[in-house]
Amino acid sequence: MSASTGHGAGLPVGAGGSSAAPAPRDPAALMAAAVAGVLRHAAQGELPPFARTLGLPQAELAAMVASCLPPPAKEEAHPWPGAVSSAKYRAIADSTPAVFRDLSALLLANRSAAVNERHTAWAARAIAAASLGGRHLWQDLGLNGRQEVSALLRHYFDPLFQRNTRDLKWKRFLYLELGAAQGIPELRPPKCLNCDQYRACFPL
């Protein structure tokens, strides 16, 4: 399947719906942007609090942040708010829902061959956390449109990417795949019912 026919071809690439596509980013840059987007949106309350941890032990999260996220300019806020006490971190991490772990595991079970394992694990956690938001997946990942989600999935999780032969919205497709694995037909993302574009993703 070519990148120009399906999996989001012709869809708006930015929050403003501009038709001018930005220059493509390499997979590592997309992964880092997704991690930063999830941490930023969790800190802003757009994603559940557990997303601030990405399901990682505190030391591992700090190492990931140091690896993925360059220091911001002085006038910019860092997407990771910094260290908190161990007790507070554990309390946040304890709120991690089972569906986050399940979706992360599904993604990792469908990882591409010969990709960076750490980057793949971080991408899986970012995607799983963002899927629990109330907006389109690309928005909660902090990416520039559905095309970038497609590029992220195609690089790190190509078996899943290739199975989306109906070009479904990515969040819907991932939950359908999870439901099929768990014996729950038509499993749907938890917050989609409240979206004003629900019928675009789930037509009658």
- pTM of the entire predicted model: 0.81
pLDDT of amino acid 84: 78
Flag whether pLDDT at 2 surpasses 50. Answer: no
Helix (H, G, I), strand (E, B), or coil: what is residue 200?
helix
Flag whether pLDDT at 5 surpasses 80. Answer: no
Residues 88-97 have pLDDT tens digits of 899 999 999 9
Distance of CA 32 to the CA centre of its chain: 11
- Give 25 or 73, the one with higher predicted confidence: 25
Flag whether pLDDT at 111 surpasses 60. Answer: yes
Report d(CA 73, CA 178) in Å as an integer.
Answer: 39
Residues 53-88 have pLDDT tens digits of 999 998 899 889 888 877 666 666 666 656 678 898
Flag whether pLDDT at 131 surpasses 50. Answer: yes
> Mean pLDDT throughout 138-167?
96
Q: Where are the domains of the chain?
A: 27-201
Query: Which residues neighbour 192 within 8 Å (Cβ) at sequence distance 6 or greater?
Result: 171, 172, 198, 201, 202
Report d(CA 177, CA 179) in Å as an integer.
Answer: 5
Which range is least confidently modeled, 21-25, 154-158, 182-186? Answer: 21-25
What tokens does 176 get? 């359908």
Q: How confident is the model at residue 126 (pLDDT cuts 50, 70, 90)?
A: very high
Task: Report the chain's mean pLDDT, rounded to a whole number.
Answer: 83
Whether the CB-CB separation of 112 and 21 falls below 8 Å is answered with no
Q: How confident is the model at residue 42 (pLDDT cuts 50, 70, 90)?
A: very high
Computed from CA positions of residues 32, 122, 21, 11, in that sequence, does the dihedral angle turn out positive or negative?
negative
Flag whether pLDDT at 180 surpasses 70. Answer: yes
SS3 assignment for 106-165: HHHHCCCCCCCHHHHHHHHHHHHHHCCCCCCHHHHHCCCCHHHHHHHHHHHCHHHHHHCC
> Mean pLDDT throughout 159-179?
94
Report DSSP state, residue 25: P
What tokens does 62 get? 């700090």
pLDDT of amino acid 18: 45
First-to-last alpha carbon distance for the chain, in angstroms, is 27
